[in-house]
Structure 1
Amino acid sequence: MTQRPFIRRALAESNLHALRLALLHATGDPALAAMKLELVPIRSGAAFEMTIAEEHHAELLRKAEEFVATEAATYVPRPLDENRVRSMMELALGQELTDEEFFVARTMPALEEFPVFSQWTRERPRRADDFRVVIIGAGLCGVAMGVQLEQLGISYVIYERRPDVGGTWAINTYPDARVDTASTTYEYSFVKNYPWSEQYARQPEVRRYIETVAKTYGVYDHIRFEHEVQSAEFDEQSATWSLRVADATGEIETVTSNFTVTATGLFSTPKKLDTDGIDDFTGEVLHTTEWTEQHSVEGKTAAIIGNGSTGVQLLARIAEDADQVYVFQRTPQWIAPREGYGEPVTEEMRWVLDNIPHYWNWARTTALKPADPRGTITPDPEWRAAGGHFSESNDKLRENLTQYIRTQVDDRPDLVERLIPDYTPAARRPVVDNKWYRSLTRDNVELVTDGITKFTDTGIVTADGTVRDVDLVLTAVGFEVTKWLWPIDFRGRGGVHIEDRWNLDGGPRAFQGLAIPEFPNMFVLYGPNAQPATGGGIGLGGLPAWMESWVGYIARVMIAVIEDDHHCAEVTDAAFWEYNNAVDDEASRLIWLDPAANPEKNYYVNEHGRLSTSTPLPGLDLATRFLSFARDDFIFTRIGSDTTTSEEQAPFVTVS
């Protein structure tokens, strides 16, 4: 039996806002609903989260302890009616909700078994047996798509070019690779209370999680490992896709599908380091995706090129083992701490999750909704006119992060002057600190900010003429994030090539990141402008929840095709451009395309000067789009018929 001192300690360590909501859910005690909230800054002021006002702490903990002692063991969960869910969500988010806001927010606590996925609108049609889906990639997106199709009973196969499941979490095995959002937000909503061991899970645990989900929900047996899709071509007469697939021996198989879903991810094509003399270097050069357990830096001199999320994550571990480490930095980053980063899920935390009914649901909700950061990414002309850099909240963040840098490097002038960026915080991808700044103060670590000019056979030469001999070079230079679907040869209606289509449109574009005109029955997961550029506010929360919403949307299109006796669905030009124009219009007003805030473009912005990897649309707007479905956004076609839902765009040629 758990001892009372442990229970008190565990309750005190809990998220008190979530604890209040869990108890209210279970008991309906009006005194809990009356407790006041207050905002506290997190992430060095980059966001705020709500917590229970201190004046209520003692009462809340007393009520929680009493519930554990008298009711928890015999408590039987009961579904909340619509009004209770709404009032609970308003308490959780600290605001009254409009109908549109509640439509989205109700998914956040994951009270239903599958809160985001789609279902048949009537009894499953018999003709669903005739449809087959090909999914390309067995990462988070591909597995989620498989789970959705399992729920619908639609036949599918997943082709995965690697020998294991996990996608980016199978590829990136470098030291200390981990999520940079809390584990409780980096999970599917249909997997309840997964027993994470760390507050920010490391790569092996995340990959294992994805594999566990695939096996638990029947997806794993549908995966064909070490099978790479080389090409896919749409056949207009049969309204099917023909795909060439190579196995590990090089043998080619041609397969046919009614729908093709690409889940190849954003981080699937590593960038190559292209520097003069690199082929003459006699040491080892590894992109971080090439690191394996067999690699070691013990007793070696190592170079790390890059200081984005990957470079920042691995430095501390490399510095512990190597004799000497040179860190090559081209552009300084705004690197921020995260509460709980690198910390375990304690025995006390796990006890609360497992023993307080509904705590997981409401801890998830409160973690998903820090205060909306739009003020940090929206320029304030009046603030600038008065002498500010960008906006009041962004300038406060700059001040906090600058002080953090100074503190971490002991205010050393030789480091501070090279580490503080001259651009605006939030203009580039946020980077979470993993003892990176502290590692720079070690005797065996040198920060190098002179540009690399070439390699010699033994080392690296920088612009000042210095030669640094190294045994091993780790390139943390990122991925080709604008090469969606590469190197698969996709050809759509009329034989149009995907790259030709995108070259006409100023780089890769898609309707809601998912669908492309002239490519019927094909969907892109984690496509252009799909994921929100910021968190916070009312939305769907962590990335896997957004992935579920993409998958659910794709399923709604499939359901419409099958239930209404169609064979094909193709997004209209009108819908495609409405979404893309909305994205471009919103992006033009925000930090990423502001020349004063972000003079040096980064992976958010493509070579055409367009924000392409993420969407700047507010989370509520984006989530509403994914959770809804307007049939007029698609042309639905039957083989041998010209019947469509729109006259704005001619259907492909059909035969009878």
Structure 2
Amino acid sequence: MTATRPRAASFDHDRLKSAIAKANIPTLLPVLYQLTGDEQWLQARYRPTRTRGMEEHSDGGLPSHVRDEIRAATVKAVLAWADGRPPAVPAPNSDVLVELMTLSMGEPVPGEYEPMVAENMDIRPAPRRHVAETGSAPFVVVIGAGVSGLTASKYLKDAGIDHVVLEQSARIGGTWRENRYPGCGVDTPSYLYSFNWFRRNWTRHFGRREEVERYLEDLARHYNLLPSIRLGVKAIKASWHETARRWVVRVREADGTEQEIAANCVITAVGQLNVPKVPDIPGMDEFEGPLFHSAEWPDSLDLHGRSLAVIGTGASAMQIVPAVVDEVASLTIYQRSPQWIASNANYFQSVSSDVHWLMEHIPYYYEWYRFRLSWVFNDRIHASLQKDPTWPHPEYSLNAVNDSHRAYFTRYLVDQLEGREDLIAQALPTYPPFGKRMLLDNGWFKALLRPHVELVTRPAAGLTPHGVRDADGFVRPADAVVMATGFDAHRPIHVEIIGRSNKSLKEIWGDDEAEAYLGITTPGFPNLFFMYGPNTNLGHGGSFIFLAERQIRYIVDALCTMTEQGIETIECRPEVNERYNRALDEAHSRMVWTHQGMDTWYRNSKGRVVTNMPWRILDYWKITRTANLADFHVEWVIPSTESVGR
């Protein structure tokens, strides 16, 4: 946590006052304490109320005269700091940091979170590993240049590890390059869905796809990652060579030519959500209009005055419908199951220049603003997702807190659809809140109320040349059909990978039984690592960017230790993998995603949760801090008897 003073010429006192007037009060309070050390600001008079739901809670629930007092004191403290007075508490100790966390949130934040928060705020930064100067550093192939692949490249470069990133497309960006449908964007706040070491003045509180894609492109340029990325190169197959102790990755260039790349290690960074899941609906070959998956939205599609059918009501559909509702003549939505939806007043809001100014000029404001977002959107609700075996209504909720969530979200739904009892009955879920990913209301309910929009609760059973037939045989006209039906997430690796004993990853995992230790590594595949692998999806909320950083830090730690100790291969022990996944399954058995009253893509054909992580963000942070080589079979460097060139 640093406090860099602005240059005097650029520090405008009037600008300070106007920006502070728009500041988030619960964020200002710990800032004020760090600058002054005055314990007055820890008193009950200034403590914000608890943030409800996923709102920003800018006024902290405090009376206007108390807010004015906090603002005036902050202006005075910042001016003193800018004139040379050092912060009174630049690096709060553990007890003080916990108190400030609780102060900012208006509710107890457990002390066990303090080490992670201190690291994230750079109060006690995590040590960065670097390959030993005398060691033989490995060469690494990274597959994919989306969020995970770019994160991997940045950390590998910082660690001095030679690598190449293979990206089958002509541009970087992964899902943010591929998904170009109207309304596409993040449902995690922009200031959380970003790296704290590469900051951005976000234009919106919830960034649109284009801005996220630009952010990733700017990151790659800023850190000079592009020379390590080969665009238009598709990884076809990766094979482990036992004698040489090397991976050989066969790739196909954009012109169709193929070649092989040898590597000590391979990191698959292709993610879970990259292969569209297209349902087999009778009559698809007969439909005469545009028919496509949401991830393959045609650039030239003109929907003006046309009838559109949307199959699905998940996250993609919820973004598409409000974005096109004013353009189409009619809109029919085919719902398999309703979704729980939370309100957020900032969803459509632009980030003001005042907020940008505060982030750039006020010491500690960015860190505390980001902390508040992380608490609201990460682990805060995790405890409420546990099943209470004594709860009398398990069909509707899991426990008392989860039931209060149900009441809260139900009230919001009823308020938004007031007067439309038919829509309320159709849109109200019967399963517990958070049983599927909680979605944010981006105008969905308002769109449902439009006279030219129809919500159909019977599945799409077939297509005709000019329409969609539901399960009752009724045909509704459609000039275009978009399938917002998600992705093939049960097989997260769509590259042929051959490990020891010539066994393929698909052979071991089957079609939907993927599992890996920490979601990062699996027995039988030495020096192979996954990012966004099995059971690393954040079902309870949060930013995947944080998880990607945890995974690559773990991988880099392993690679640096291998180099230092002269280790050539590490392979996860079967008993370690089995023990981890048994604990994972047991944890899931007590959680909402194994609730039998719903259907979700989180589970495979046998009902096992194969995508989501049952742990808290904090738990995963703890278990991925270092790579314990006792979890692996280890082979030391020996003279190579087989030559395989890059």
Query: Please, what TM-score do these two structures have when normalized by structure 2?
Result: 0.90
Q: How far has the Cα of 1:39 moved from its partner? A: 4.1
- Structure 1 distance, partners of 2:129, 2:351, is 35
Q: State, as a whole percentage, how many aligned pairs show the same letter.
A: 27
Q: How far has the Cα of 1:38 moved from its partner? A: 4.2
- Structure 2 distance, partners of 1:511, 1:367, is 29
- Judge conservation of contact 1:525–1:550 (CA < 8 Å) in 2: yes
Deviations, residues 208-232 of structure 1 (Å, cap 9, x unaligned): 1111111111212211111100000
| 5-14 or 72-81, which deviates more | 72-81
Q: Tell me, yes or no, if structure 1 residue 134 matches structure 2 residue 141.
A: yes
| C-alpha spacing 1:532/1:385, structure 2 compared with 1 (3 Å) | closer
Q: Tell me, yes or no, if structure 1 residue 418 matches structure 2 residue 426.
A: yes
The aligned residue for residue 647 of structure 1 is none
Q: How far has the Cα of 1:125 moved from its partner? A: 2.5
| 547-556 or 317-326, which deviates more | 317-326
| 183-192 or 243-252, which deviates more | 183-192
The aligned residue for residue 29 of structure 1 is 38
The aligned residue for residue 608 of structure 1 is 606
Deviations, residues 264-307 of structure 1 (Å, cap 9, x unaligned): 01110001131001101111102111114422211211111111
Q: How far has the Cα of 1:59 moved from its partner? A: 2.6
1:526-537 maps to which residues of 2 (within 5 A)? 526-535=532-541
Task: Identify unmatched segments of 5+ residues in structure 2.
Answer: 1-9
Which residue of 166, 170, 182 corresponds with 1:159?
166
User: Counterpart amino acid of 1:148?
Assistant: Y
1:219-298 maps to which residues of 2 (within 5 A)? 219-298=225-304
- Structure 1 distance, partners of 2:518, 2:532, is 10
Structure 1 SS opposite 2:67? helix
Which residue of 617, 620, 624 corresponds with 1:626?
624
Q: How far has the Cα of 1:33 moved from its partner? A: 3.9
1:354-433 maps to which residues of 2 (within 5 A)? 354-370=360-376, 372-384=380-392, 389-433=397-441
- Structure 1 distance, partners of 2:410, 2:563, is 56
- Judge conservation of contact 2:167–2:233 (CA < 8 Å) in 1: yes
| 179-188 or 381-390, which deviates more | 381-390
- Structure 1 distance, partners of 2:400, 2:270, is 39
| C-alpha spacing 1:315/1:621, structure 2 compared with 1 (3 Å) | same
| 386-395 or 543-552, which deviates more | 386-395
Task: Identify unmatched segments of 5+ residues in structure 1.
Answer: 536-540, 642-652
- Judge conservation of contact 1:331–1:421 (CA < 8 Å) in 2: yes
Q: Tell me, yes or no, if structure 1 residue 503 matches structure 2 residue 526.
A: no
Q: Tell me, yes or no, if structure 1 residue 575 matches structure 2 residue 582.
A: no
Q: Tell me, yes or no, if structure 1 residue 16 matches structure 2 residue 25.
A: yes
The aligned residue for residue 5 of structure 2 is none
User: Counterpart amino acid of 1:271?
Assistant: K
- Structure 2 distance, partners of 1:89, 1:191, is 26
| C-alpha spacing 1:365/1:52, structure 2 compared with 1 (3 Å) | farther
Deviations, residues 592-623 of structure 1 (Å, cap 9, x unaligned): 1132xxx2331111112111111112332221
Structure 2 SS opposite 1:127? coil
- Structure 1 distance, partners of 2:123, 2:222, is 20
Q: Tell me, yes or no, if structure 1 residue 60 matches structure 2 residue 70.
A: yes
| C-alpha spacing 1:440/1:593, structure 2 compared with 1 (3 Å) | same
Q: Tell me, yes or no, if structure 1 residue 472 matches structure 2 residue 480.
A: yes
- Judge conservation of contact 1:517–1:576 (CA < 8 Å) in 2: yes
The aligned residue for residue 191 of structure 2 is 184
- Judge conservation of contact 1:117–1:549 (CA < 8 Å) in 2: no
Which residue of 96, 109, 120 corresponds with 2:121?
109
- Structure 1 distance, partners of 2:303, 2:83, is 52
Give RMSD over aligned pairs. 2.8
- Structure 1 distance, partners of 2:456, 2:346, is 30
The aligned residue for residue 564 of structure 2 is 563
Structure 2 SS opposite 1:184? coil
Structure 2 SS opposite 1:447? strand
- Judge conservation of contact 1:118–1:555 (CA < 8 Å) in 2: no
| 147-156 or 89-98, which deviates more | 89-98
Structure 1 SS opposite 2:239? strand
- Structure 1 distance, partners of 2:368, 2:109, is 17
Q: How far has the Cα of 1:457 moved from its partner? A: 1.1
Q: How far has the Cα of 1:8 moved from its partner? A: 4.0
Q: How far has the Cα of 1:41 moved from its partner? A: 4.1
| 455-464 or 239-248, which deviates more | 455-464
Q: Tell me, yes or no, if structure 1 residue 207 matches structure 2 residue 241.
A: no
- Judge conservation of contact 1:561–1:636 (CA < 8 Å) in 2: no
Deviations, residues 3-36 of structure 1 (Å, cap 9, x unaligned): 8776444323222222122233333333334465
The aligned residue for residue 444 of structure 2 is 436
| C-alpha spacing 1:521/1:295, structure 2 compared with 1 (3 Å) | same
| C-alpha spacing 1:562/1:51, structure 2 compared with 1 (3 Å) | farther
Deviations, residues 148-205 of structure 1 (Å, cap 9, x unaligned): 011111111100011111111111111111110111110113224x111100110000
| 327-336 or 25-34, which deviates more | 25-34
Structure 2 SS opposite 1:191? coil
Query: Please, what TM-score do these two structures have when normalized by structure 1?
Result: 0.89
| C-alpha spacing 1:49/1:614, structure 2 compared with 1 (3 Å) | farther
User: Counterpart amino acid of 2:570?
Assistant: A
- Judge conservation of contact 1:335–1:432 (CA < 8 Å) in 2: yes
Q: How far has the Cα of 1:42 moved from its partner? A: 2.8
- Structure 2 distance, partners of 1:405, 1:607, is 32
Task: Count residues with an aligned counterpart.
Answer: 625
- Structure 1 distance, partners of 2:626, 2:403, is 37
1:334-349 maps to which residues of 2 (within 5 A)? 334-349=340-355
Deviations, residues 441-491 of structure 1 (Å, cap 9, x unaligned): 1122111222222111111111233222211111111000111111x1101
| C-alpha spacing 1:316/1:385, structure 2 compared with 1 (3 Å) | closer
Q: How far has the Cα of 1:78 moved from its partner? A: 9.8
- Judge conservation of contact 1:128–1:154 (CA < 8 Å) in 2: no
- Structure 2 distance, partners of 1:407, 1:279, is 42
Deviations, residues 358-408 of structure 1 (Å, cap 9, x unaligned): 210111112111372134212223332799843111112112222222222
- Structure 2 distance, partners of 1:408, 1:421, is 15
Structure 1 SS opposite 2:410? helix
- Structure 1 distance, partners of 2:460, 2:493, is 31
The aligned residue for residue 648 of structure 1 is none
- Structure 1 distance, partners of 2:113, 2:308, is 51
| C-alpha spacing 1:630/1:51, structure 2 compared with 1 (3 Å) | farther
Q: How far has the Cα of 1:559 moved from its partner? A: 0.8
Structure 1 SS opposite 2:325? helix
- Judge conservation of contact 1:305–1:473 (CA < 8 Å) in 2: yes
Deviations, residues 576-604 of structure 1 (Å, cap 9, x unaligned): 12211111111111111132xxx233111
- Judge conservation of contact 1:42–1:339 (CA < 8 Å) in 2: no
- Judge conservation of contact 1:303–1:328 (CA < 8 Å) in 2: yes
User: Counterpart amino acid of 2:295?
Assistant: T
- Judge conservation of contact 2:33–2:89 (CA < 8 Å) in 1: no
- Structure 1 distance, partners of 2:179, 2:395, is 43
User: Counterpart amino acid of 1:176?
Assistant: G
Structure 1 SS opposite 2:50? strand
The aligned residue for residue 7 of structure 2 is none
Q: How far has the Cα of 1:110 moved from its partner? A: 4.1
- Structure 1 distance, partners of 2:357, 2:298, is 35
